[in-house]
Amino acid sequence: MELWTHFQNFPVLWLVVTLLVFLFASWINAKAGKTPFLHPVLVSLSLIIVVLELVDTDYATYMQGGQYIHLLLGPAVVALAVPLYDNIATVKRLLVPLLVGCVCGAVVASVSAIMIGAWFGLNDQILLTLAPKSVTSPIAIAIAEKMGGFPSLAAGLVLITGAMGCLIAPFVYKLLGIEDESVKGFVLGVGAHAMGTAFAFEYGMVAGAFGGLAMGMTGAFTAFLLPLLVPLLGL
């Protein structure tokens, strides 16, 4: 036991464990037909929790190694600008509709989450955690922490929102007869953040580019608008 207590404090251990678990989760997702219910992020999260419980390791110890992957979230989001740059002419042409769509999406996502949560009688701290559920994890965590919510819970809600968005989107496209790649990608980016953007690339590079644009814009609008909306909602 003393040997394990010493060994588990090596950051590289948890870095390797995280990478191996994610590769295994990706394999499971591929075998399951890439269903959003078994998204690699969700499966990895669940498996790592199980591993930490089995070996009696706390979150702070795990994050000594996990922090290195966490630091890559920012650059990964910025890298989405590459396919967006390739479609800059289309973005300029649709700039006004894109801005309106992002603002409306950000407001509706946050307000509807707060109102539904209040209807179920959730306390203010949980409501503040629910509000940024539709933006990518780094932004959602920062918003929840700044407003007094639970950052770790916000991260989990973001993953659930992303998975549900990827699951529902194809049915919505079929119902509304949406064929345009840019629209498909934009919808996924607004409603399902990074997971939606990754899913959008399955429709094509254009869809992925617009997904990345929508994800970034929605995150920025939410970060600026949410602190203004919360007092108006009585929180």
> Final residue of a domain: which of 14, 37, 71?
71
Q: Are residues 116 and 6 in the same domain?
A: no
User: What is the rounded CA–CA span in Å between residue 122 and residue 141?
Assistant: 19
Q: Are residues 102 and 136 in the same domain?
A: yes
pLDDT at 176 (0 to 100): 87
H runs (alpha helix) in 32-119: 40-54, 59-70, 73-79, 81-86, 88-93, 95-119
Identify the domain containing residue 106 by its residue range.
79-232
pLDDT at 56 (0 to 100): 81
Number of domains in the chain: 2
Q: pTM here?
A: 0.72
Average pLDDT over residues 44-60: 83
Q: Are residues 39 and 131 in the same domain?
A: no
121-179 pLDDT, tens digit each = 888 888 888 888 888 777 888 888 888 888 878 888 887 888 888 888 888 888 888 88
- Decide if 203 contacts 83 (C-beta within 8 A): no
Q: Are residues 90 and 199 in the same domain?
A: yes
67-93 pLDDT, tens digit each = 777 777 667 667 766 766 776 777 778
